[in-house]
Chains A and B, each alone.
Chain A
Amino acid sequence: GQQLNQSPQSMFIQEGEDVSMNCTSSSIFNTWLWYKQDPGEGPVLLIALYKAGELTSNGRLTAQFGITRKDSFLNISASIPSDVGIYFCAGQLWNTGNQFYFGTGTSLTVIP
């Protein structure tokens, strides 16, 4: 299977701080996605990116599709306690039946 490396694995930040995380792959992806998983729930899609260099925002979240198509970045500005959860990147390859491959996740803890 495809390897998507996410970093950092975990983050502990103060409320109000900005957060940055990234996802890298050895393969070129055609679509990058970012999901958030709350405890005891399934992942929920935050942002979808469709072309290299694309920068897309969703409220305080901003994600970018890397120019090389092998990486993607997610930033969260002015974090709040409800941002707590695990953030996953996922990449889609057209030549694998449109399967999505998930990264290993970044666990975010926000300290009030």
Chain B
Amino acid sequence: NAGVTQTPKFQVLKTGQSMTLQCAQDMNHNSMYWYRQDPGMGLRLIYYSASEGTTDKGEVPNGYNVSRLNKREFSLRLESAAPSQTSVYFCASRITRTNPEAFFGQGTRLTVV
């Protein structure tokens, strides 16, 4: 029962370094999402992919890029990390973009120093 799997779980980066957060789901869902969670801010949508082959910006896309590699995988890339990107990142998936039930991964805790 893997559901949504995110890697890595923890990461420390230096300012200016790049990295890719990986996300994979095994539920044959069409829609996938990347959120960031900051204290007192709830979850904010960074990018989403309503279906394979499409990606769209969410509320806070600046400083990030995404790739929907195939139906299962949706990666988030930080090209030049900044301290403001220190956060907990969650990947989520839905059967379709209109279905409300989102399944979340366990999160990636990223610290940029």
* Residues of A bordering B, CB below 8 Å: 1, 4, 6, 9, 31, 33, 40-45, 48, 88, 92, 97-105
Contacts and interface: CB of A to CB of B under 8 A. Distances in A.
Nearest to B44: A1
Contacts, number: 59
Contacts of B44: 1, 102
* Nearest 7 pairs of A and B residues by beta carbon: A42-B104, A1-B59, A102-B42, A102-B43, A98-B97, A48-B100, A104-B42
A103 B37 CA distance: 11
Contacts of A31: 100
Nearest to B91: A42
A104 B35 CA distance: 13
B56 A43 contact: no
Interface of B: 4, 35, 40-45, 48, 50, 56, 58-60, 90, 92, 97-98, 100-102, 104-107
Given A33-B100, A48-B100, A97-B50, A42 B45 contact: no
B106 A41 contact: yes
B44 to A, nearest CB: 7
A45 B104 CA distance: 9
A100 B41 contact: no
A41 B65 CA distance: 24
B22 to A, nearest CB: 15
B4 A97 contact: no
5 contacts: A9-B40, A43-B102, A92-B100, A99-B45, A99-B58
A42 B56 contact: no
